[in-house]
Amino acid sequence: MADGSAFLTQEGTAYTGKWTYAGGRINVSSESPAYKASFKIISLSDARLVLEYQYPAPDLSKVKYTYAPKK
């Protein structure tokens, strides 16, 4: 949301918190339940947002998320 609030669901758990932007990354945090994540912005346009998330150790695998506005 434009006011910095964030709503997301990851692996079936819903989180409500805040987001910030810094250094080409979107950082999301929630207190209840506790959650923190940082997404690298790959591309951003009016039609599409592509983010990359790197899972913490031990595997360090990366996942790309693509978002588009509802039509």
Report d(CA 1, CA 18) in Å as an integer: 9
User: What would the pLDDT profile of 16-68 be if each residue is shown by its tens digit?
Assistant: 999 999 999 999 999 888 888 899 999 999 999 999 998 887 778 999 999 99
Provide the terminal-to-terminal Cα distance of the chain, rounded to the nearest Å: 18
Q: What is the pLDDT of residue 27?
A: 94
pLDDT-based confidence at residue 9 (cuts at 50, 70, 90):
confident
| Predicted confidence (pLDDT) at residue 70 exceeds the cutoff of 90 | no
**Which residues lie across from 14 on neighbouring strands?**
9
Domain locations in the chain as residue ranges: 5-67
Looking up tokens 């695998």 gives 61
